[in-house]
Structure 1
Amino acid sequence: MNESKKTSIFLPHEERNGKPLDLFFLWCAANIGILGLVYGAIIIGFKLSFFQSVLVTIVGSLSFILVGIMSLAGKETGAITFILSRAPFGFKGNYIPSIIALVGHMGWLSINVCTGTLTTVSLFVTLGFKSNNILTAISLGIFIILVLISVLFSHETLIKIQTIFTYLFGSLTLIILAILIPKTNWNLLLNMKSGSWIGNFLPAVAFVMAGTGISWSSASADYSCHQNPKNSSRSVAASVTLGGAVPLIIIMGVGLLLSTAVPDLANSSNPTQVIRGALPRWIAIIYYLTAIGGLTPQCFLGLKSSKLLLDAINIHAKNASVVIFQALIIIILPSYILFIAQDFQGTLESFLGILGKLLAAWSSVFFIDYLFIRKKHGYSRKLLEDKNFNPINYRGVISWLIGFVVGLLFSNTFIFNGPFAVGIFKGNSLNVLLTFVVSGAVYYFIGVLSGKSTVYTESTGGELNE
């Protein structure tokens, strides 16, 4: 590889030969994980009827259309998400959102490592071992080794592995669904009273959106940049959207049914372990093995996107240094969650509370920029490569900050209690959805309708759209 390819922020054309179906399997395997079962049980906790709960899984999961549309920017340019983010935020203005996204990636990676560790513990317990801290430490070590081995995978190998685990885990999920249907307390499920559409339903949808479409949006173009630019945009967007939404709807639906057979599912310190009580032993063993195998390449997505984010903010570290840094993170954070906090669900919800708003504000600005400016005018090399041409795009940065501050005022966190976090905004993720709407609206008015968009459409460096 010559020097120009080493330093280029764009993927060479010869490496852009992906097909839309590749993205379907990649995102499908990334979202069919066992954590979705817990999401289903948490939805029930919003005190909704069965119909409303099912509707939450569908509407919330379809937030993946955000990832689908944003991924088109990668297909059209061959650049990763946070290189493209330089357009609405500026070269230097993009640093803070990039660092926050890096923290988000490492946070989600840690959550997934915790899930993989707890699943490994559940497997050992099902095989007859006694659950204790020593077993948890051994399981953490085993899973971390599996994750770090996955670093050796190429993009093509990852696609193949994700495809295999999509079929395996998906088939097993359907088998478990068939087992759970006769065990489900349908009388209890169908007689649950309807909750308020504003006070219960909307916060539940916001919770699912914060943990799915909004969270994954920061990696939207990281894999679509491998797509052939001549591929149909509609096919690419549909493959990403359905690849993320379909498995989420199915796995969270199973979680809804499972919540009646396993009432403690959402509140358990190890939610994966209580699942085995509702399944035949042999099915539980196979399910856990497949879940562990599926979580490993899923964690690799977080590792790869973290490395790409470092490149986006011009931190070009050696691969060995990056792996050591990532290894330390996925040892320290999961160890804290598993051995000190011992509150898996609480940690997950606190994490979504802070990072969710920051990422929601960023993704909204990126989404509006692409949909109303970039889709028409395209990205230019000068805009993305010349740090002096567009150092700080104040319209994007201001929109991002306003959305985040408004969301913070309507939320209660461990560091700040917002004065407006009352009523329907009390104790839920509805503020994340509010943040998304506010940031996008502000950017639309001051960035799109202002008529002062020369910095956005400058193309003297050559258009990247094919």
Structure 2
Amino acid sequence: MTDVRTADAAKRLGVETTGIEIIDEADRTAAPRDLFWPWFAANVSVFGISYAAFVLGFGISFWQAVVVTVIGVVVSFALCGVIAIAGKRGSAPTMVLSRAAFGVKGQKVPGVISWLVSIGWETALAILAVLATSTIFERLGWGGGTGTKIVAAIVVAAMIVLAAVAGYHIIMRMQSVLTWITGAITILYIIMTFTHLDWSAISSLPSGGIGATIGALVMVMTGFGLGWINIAADWSRYQRRDASGAAIVGWNTFGGALAPALLVCYGLALAGSDKDVLDGIGGDPIGTLAGLLPTWVLVPFLIAAILSLVSGAVLGIYSSGLTLLSLGVRLPRPVAALVDGVILTLGTFFVVFVAEDFLGPFQSFLITLGVPLASWAGIMIADIALRKRDYDEDALFDASGRYGAFDWLSIGTMVVTSVLGWGLVVNSYADDAAWNNWQGFLLDPLGLGTFVKDPAGSYWEGTFAYANLGVLLALLLSFVVTYFGRRGKVARQEAGA
């Protein structure tokens, strides 16, 4: 009885108590247009402008970068939209629905990777929010030292954890409010910095080759839609059963892609106009962007930067809690979100106050996980494309049901394509994370690139060295193998055999 009373009390406070179980039919009241708010709020950020410097860092022209940005952002969020269809069909979190493709127990293979990616990237967002506060407080003359960082870390972590613990309904309401706040301040930033644009400098940026263009495209795709793809169905599981799949894809894509496509393109013009901005963003994105503003705008700019970073981190921590439950951890959903929130908080404090050389190796580790995540996405998208019916919801929780305990073709595909993919990507932090320099082992044998050790900084050379073809290979090859290799099995599953 105590548990029931506790759950009822939580519901009265608006806290979501539903974990990874199937959403009750009566609670499935969301419409496809509701998907706009969480995706837009999590991606409308002045921080998105900073991605432009990384795109131009591949040595491509402004117009090449614009095309790459629009295609990469839209396509990657459209892939998220396809995954979101599974949420409507099965009313369960993404990693539970993944059991149909990998088996009820086999799903733990991609589940662990998904959990690590979610925890890692959301910790990175929290760290950026803390460092942004310190940078802007220092410029305002309010002090940006240890005391400021401690308070900022506590406040940022508290906002993220409380929202994630509250769950779906409060997060959806919060995101609809944050959309207007961060959107308005982001527009103000564009207005205040528009005079900084130098179109002659922008148009003089030299064009890059095919390898650099592909590399920029892959970077945009992984930095935006593919970075969210492992949690896409978490936000569509409350959709009505009669919701249109095309509408779900459309609203997911529109909400996720609208702001990044516009902001990165504006950032391309901004970074292309000023070499100091182009060079400074890599080390201090928020501080560099803030440097273009008059002092009186810094406070609203800081608010927008923090809220947008928090908004993205909330989605990730909420979903990482669900993923943790899908791995077999027996906790109430709010407690699972709290556990992941504590990990995020400890990670933030460690990086900000203790680690001297952590960020480079940390980012290298997360980028490495992007290859198997792309492979999982290809398998999952093919599985969704093959299915014509809703999921057997009971079988998603029964290893002896129609989806089985392990799908060895899916697991084998993920392992093989990940290994091949790692052979075609490079460690961008070769000196900071030398333990990861085994990546790219296929580039030299295939004549695509050569690793150069240099006292001034190790690097790769070659047309396709930094194209990161391994991400595309893992995504596309996994889709093809799954689509043709599992057709018969999926048909038998849907027939009830």
TM-score of the pair, normalised by structure 2: 0.84
C-alpha contact 1:425 1:431 (8 A) present in aligned 2: no
Structure 2 residue 440 is matched with structure 1 residue 418? yes
Structure with higher helix content: 1
2:179 corresponding residue in structure 1: 166
- Deviates further, 381-390 or 398-407: 381-390
1:114 corresponding residue in structure 2: 127
Structure 2 residue 285 is matched with structure 1 residue 301? no
Deviation digits for residues 107-162 of structure 1, max 9, x if unmatched? 11111111211222233224313433443333222211222232353423222221
C-alpha contact 2:122 2:344 (8 A) present in aligned 1: yes
1:464 corresponding residue in structure 2: none
Structure 2: 5+ residue stretches without partners:
8-16, 428-434, 444-448, 450-461
Distance 1:327 1:381 in 2: 29
Distance 2:176 2:161 in 1: 20
User: For 1:10-89, what aligned pairs fall within 5 Å after superposition?
Assistant: 10-62=22-74, 63-89=76-102
What displacement does 1:211 show? 1.8
SS of equivalent residue, structure 1 residue 177: helix
* Alpha-carbon spacing, 1:452–1:289, altered in 2? closer, same or farther (3 Å): closer
Distance 1:206 1:358 in 2: 15
C-alpha contact 1:24 1:239 (8 A) present in aligned 2: yes
SS of equivalent residue, structure 1 residue 399: helix
- Deviates further, 436-445 or 238-247: 436-445
Structure 2 residue 486 is matched with structure 1 residue 447? yes
Structure 1: 5+ residue stretches without partners:
461-466
Deviation digits for residues 4-28 of structure 1, max 9, x if unmatched? x978721001111112222101100
Distance 1:246 1:348 in 2: 29
C-alpha contact 2:89 2:391 (8 A) present in aligned 1: no
C-alpha contact 1:203 1:424 (8 A) present in aligned 2: no
C-alpha contact 2:19 2:322 (8 A) present in aligned 1: no
What displacement does 1:355 show? 1.4
SS of equivalent residue, structure 2 residue 278: coil
Letter in 2 for 1:175: L
Distance 2:311 2:337 in 1: 15
What displacement does 1:67 show? 0.6
Deviation digits for residues 376-429 of structure 1, max 9, x if unmatched? 244223541221230101121111112101101112344323322323442453
What displacement does 1:207 show? 0.7
C-alpha contact 1:146 1:296 (8 A) present in aligned 2: yes
Letter in 1 for 2:69: T
Letter in 1 for 2:306: I
* Alpha-carbon spacing, 1:177–1:348, altered in 2? closer, same or farther (3 Å): farther
Deviation digits for residues 221-267 of structure 1, max 9, x if unmatched? 10100111222222221110111111111221232233234233332
TM-score of the pair, normalised by structure 1: 0.90
What displacement does 1:306 show? 1.2
User: For 1:36-435, what aligned pairs fall within 5 Å after superposition?
Assistant: 36-62=48-74, 63-196=76-209, 198-259=210-271, 260-261=273-274, 262-268=277-283, 270-318=284-332, 322-323=336-337, 325-339=339-353, 340-341=355-356, 346=360, 349-371=363-385, 373-374=386-387, 376-389=388-401, 390-413=404-427, 414-415=435-436, 416-421=438-443, 422=449, 423-427=462-466, 429-435=468-474
Percent identity over paired residues: 27
SS of equivalent residue, structure 1 residue 381: coil
* Alpha-carbon spacing, 1:7–1:171, altered in 2? closer, same or farther (3 Å): closer
What displacement does 1:347 show? 5.5
Letter in 2 for 1:420: L
CA RMSD of aligned residues (A): 2.5
Corresponding residue pairs, total: 452
Letter in 2 for 1:265: G
What displacement does 1:358 show? 1.4
SS of equivalent residue, structure 2 residue 279: coil
Distance 1:38 1:347 in 2: 21
